[in-house]
Amino acid sequence: MSEFPALTQEEFRRLCEFLYRRTGMVFTEAKRYYVERRVVERMLETGCGSFSNYFSQLRADTRGEIEQIINAFTVNETYFYREDHQLQCLTADLLPNRIRKKSQGEPIRIWSAPCATGEEPYSIAMWLLENWPLVDDYEIEIIGADIDTAVLEAARQGVFGKRALMRLSPYLIAKYFSQVAEDKWQILDDLRGSVRFGEVNIVAPGETRPYGQFDVIFCRNVLIYFDDTSRRIAAENLYENLLPGGFICLGHTESMSRISSLFEVSRFTDAIVYQRPDQHR
Amino acid sequence: MPLIRKPVTDTRAQGLPTVDVLRGLASADAEERWVAARAAPEVEGGADALVTALRTESDARVREAMLTSLARINSSASVEAILALLRSDDASVRSGALETLRVMGSAMREHLPRLLSDADSDVRLLSCEITRGLPGAEATRLLCDLLVRENQVNVCGAAIEVLAEVGQAEALPVLAQCETRFRDTPFLVFAIKMATDRILAQSTRHV
């Protein structure tokens, strides 16, 4: 790493502006060391002898370099109760809003896509059981979907390591998991039975349709990886999968407003989310 | 437990519903037009049908789906259809068209010299942004060609901002010339200095 000089001020700014526009990730001067370290790692990995060469490769997305640098800057792991301010928003604002429009007996449908190994949909189930007083009054359907069949199988098994559980209290772990090995915990059958999983590619036009329409969709930290056309296809798919007035939660660096004009921004105390308009405009 | 589970449906073999795209695009019902617009790239003749329908589509949501489908098709014909929308009286149509052209990348390249010379300064300004996706040398050449003849300050500002990211050393004399021409326009002088500094920093550092 020492064979590469640090980025100049101008190179740093150029890179940060590109990353913001392409991915929504914001880096200020305070994060300079963090950014430099990862960029130099990528330069070494790609064999680029100068920042200029590396930046050209990044802009052209040669050999998927944009995905590589996003991975270098993001936490490539999922865990229970990640970004739980959105779960707080779910029970404080989104569900109360949705049930006002529901007739008796109509279920609440929540979709986690992509769901990876299941931490997110199981988190939603646990959060509702723990934090929503009306949870017994409604039928709530939670579905996890992902393009990767291997992670879906892991999600169905529901066995997690210590890191995945790091945000959960001992109370929650004791209540919803059984320890199956020294560092392995499995979601209890009851909770596993409350989430179903299926395969989906959210950038394939129409492929999401068979899942039906949802009240709330969690689609976090995936749009950031797609090119512009794929993002627009995904946005149209997700629009179709939302009930009129339904909400979509994205990752904290993602903005639907920069992808599509199909949704309206909804600002709540705990989170900014996007809403399918009740009426077509 | 109140949370419920239903049998998993195999979704892979399904997709967009089978629709008569030509009939759907002409439907009076916006929902039918939306579905047809999304299905159009999958059917023969879909691109031509989209181009025709786009000329009269009044629903913003359906228009966005049509533009996305034309971007998926990404042909010369779809670019031409979207270019025609740049003359629309509706600003949202114009900006939607330019945003779509921006995402179309390679299919757009041959049209950029024409767009950057367009009589409408809004088209020239937004076209500068499209060059951002090109390789540095190509973008530099196109933007320098524009800067040497451009008199509209906002268009120059847009070109210089893109050069600050993608510009190469060949842009330096053009930027200097531009600074002289616009020395009484402080925001351009500032933008030129920033772009020049960044290009110089890149040009003088090789490991």
Burial (CB < 10 A; 0-12, 13-18, 19+), residue A182, is: exposed
**Cα of B55 to nearest chain A Cα, Å:** 19
Q: For residue A106, what are the contacts with CB-CB under 8 A and spacing of at least 6?
A: none
Closest Cβ–Cβ partner in B1, B9, B30 for A190: B1
Phi, psi of A177 (to 5 degrees): -130, 155
What percent of chain B stands above pLDDT 70? 88
Tell me the domains of chain A and their CATH numbers. Answer: 9-73 (1.10.155.10), 84-275 (3.40.50.150)
Contact A144, A196 (CB under 8 A): yes
Q: By CA distance, what is A10's nearest residue in B?
A: B198
Chain A, window 42-101: residues with a beta carbon less than 8 angstroms from a chain B beta carbon: 49-52, 55-56, 59-60
- CA of A180 to nearest chain B CA: how many angstroms apart? 23
What pLDDT, on the 0 to 100 scale, is given for residue B69?
95
Cross-chain residue pair A281–B72, CB shorter than 8 Å: no
Low-confidence ranges of chain B (pLDDT < 70): 1-2, 4-19, 203-207
| Burial class for A277, CB neighbours closer than 10 Å (0-12, 13-18, 19+) | middle
Whole-number pLDDT of residue A103 = 85
Output the CA–CA distances (angstroms, integers) from residue B171 to B114, B116, B156, B189, B206, in the order listed: 20, 17, 13, 15, 19
pTM for the complete prediction?
0.83
- The verdict on whether A98 is a catalytic residue reads no
Contact A209 B3 (CB under 8 A): no
Contacts with B82 from chain A: Cβ below 8 Å: none
Give the Cα separation of B85 and A112 in Å (integer).
37
DSSP letters, A217-232, are EEE-SSGGGS-HHHHH
**Which residue in this structure is represented by tokens 């950029």?**
B112
Residue A108: which H helix or E strand, with range?
strand A108-112
Q: Which two tokens stand for residue A188?
A: 């209890």
Phi, psi of A274 (to 5 degrees): -120, 145
Locate A184 and state its tokens.
């392995």
Cα dihedral sign, A265-A267-A273-A279 = negative
Taking only the tens place, the pLDDT of each residue in A231-255 is 999 999 999 999 999 999 999 889 9
pLDDT at residue A1, rounded to an integer: 47
**In whole angstroms, how far apart are CA A171 and each of A36, A126, B206?**
41, 12, 56
Find residues 157-216 of chain A whose CB sits inside 8 Å of chain B: 190-191, 193-200, 204-211
Spatial contact of B24 and B53, defined as CB atoms under 8 Å apart? no
> pLDDT tens for residues B140-157?
999 999 999 999 999 999
Is A21 annotated in the active site? no
Nearest 5°: the CA angle B174, B179, B183 is: 160
Interaxial angle between packed helices A228-240 and B91-104, expressed in degrees from 0 to 180 and rounded to the nearest 10: 120
**B142, B131 contact by CB (below 8 A):** yes
Contacts of A128 in chain B (CB under 8 A): 3
Joined tokens for residue A275: 């809403």
pLDDT the model gives residue B1: 53
Q: Is any Cβ of chain A less than 8 angstroms from the Cβ of B91? A: no
Quote helix, strand, coil % in chain A, to nearest 5.
50, 20, 35
Phi, psi of B74 (to 5 degrees): 50, 45
What are the extents of the domains in chain B?
A: 17-92, 110-207
Question: What is the pLDDT tens value at each position of chain A, 281 positions in all?
Answer: 455 567 888 889 889 988 888 877 888 888 888 899 999 999 999 998 888 889 989 988 888 898 888 888 876 678 999 999 999 999 999 999 999 989 878 899 999 999 999 999 999 999 999 999 999 999 999 999 998 999 999 999 999 999 999 999 999 999 999 999 999 999 999 999 999 999 999 998 888 999 999 999 999 989 988 888 899 999 999 999 999 999 999 998 899 988 999 999 999 999 999 999 987 54
Burial class of residue A50, CB neighbours in 10 A (0-12, 13-18, 19+): middle
